[in-house]
Amino acid sequence: MTDNLIGMGISDNIIEPDENVTEQMLQELTSLQKRLAEMPAGSDELARNRLLLDIATLLVAMDRKIEAWDIARPLFDAFVAAASWQDAVETSDVLYAADQDESIVALGNGVWLAVTFPVDPTLSTNMLDHVIEETPSDSDGGAVAAATAHYLANLRAADEKMRESLGFLTGNLLASVAYRHSNLKDREMIDMWVERLELNQPEKFLPRLGMMLDIIVGDNWWIDRDALRDVLPDDANSYAE
């Protein structure tokens, strides 16, 4: 079960490329850089930044991670300033995959945005899956992250089909965490575990996620959370701890 769930983010999809793949990536990089160079002065800044994000994503896949970080780090701030939350979270995913000294900080900042603002629940699940991977198997942190992913899948799914498919995925993710945390496989025992850890009560597990993110990020928040809470739309389907 776990093998089918781990690896939902780009940081887990990087493989050692063969010569053909390397050549394809180089061609794609050249094409993206050409498009960037040909953008006229005064072009839409958001479109330009999204193109730069595509370049950074490709550089990570090419294992040119320092270059990717140097491009993506200012993009995160630019997307936040533009209130482009989906792009900001995707950028934090790239920064996490870049595997630099502050990549874990990028993850914490990105997860806060992914939970707080109504971004794609699949992306939110990817980000929370990274948190699970970063937490010890016997800690409650992975359980809290998995419960949050399951909660957001149900809350933000665009339609019933998405709610069913993503809910199945996040439900299995929660079950896999129950197995690694307490060696549980039986459905009834997992339900008891969920109840014992209060993972069915978002008003309790979401504040715990907020405390986890404070530990992950420490004093290195790149975002002004108080200011962002003030601009949070009433219908955001989110939680801002």
pLDDT in tens, 175-216: 999 999 998 888 899 999 999 999 999 999 999 999 999 999
Asked, for residue 240, whether it belongs to a domain, the answer is no
Q: For residue range 75-85, what is the model confidence (pLDDT) as tens digits?
A: 999 999 999 99
All residues at 6 or more sequence positions from 52 whose CB lies less than 8 Å from its CB, including other chains: 36, 71, 72, 75
All residues at 6 or more sequence positions from 124 whose CB lies less than 8 Å from its CB, including other chains: 89, 114, 115, 149, 152, 156
Q: For residue range 101-147, what is the model confidence (pLDDT) as tens digits?
A: 999 999 999 999 999 999 999 999 999 999 999 998 888 999 999 99
Asked, for residue 146, whether it belongs to a domain, the answer is yes
In the block, which residue shows the tokens 């955001």? 236
Asked, for residue 239, whether it belongs to a domain, the answer is no
Asked, for residue 117, whether it belongs to a domain, the answer is yes
Asked, for residue 237, whether it belongs to a domain, the answer is no
Please give the residue range of the domain that contains residue 157: 2-230
Asked, for residue 236, whether it belongs to a domain, the answer is no
Asked, for residue 241, whether it belongs to a domain, the answer is no
In the block, which residue shows the tokens 């482009």? 84
pTM score of the predicted model: 0.86
3 state SS of 9 = coil
Q: How many domains does the chain have?
A: 1
Asked, for residue 238, whether it belongs to a domain, the answer is no
Helix, strand and coil in the chain, % to nearest 5: 70, 0, 30
Q: What is the pLDDT of residue 177?
A: 93
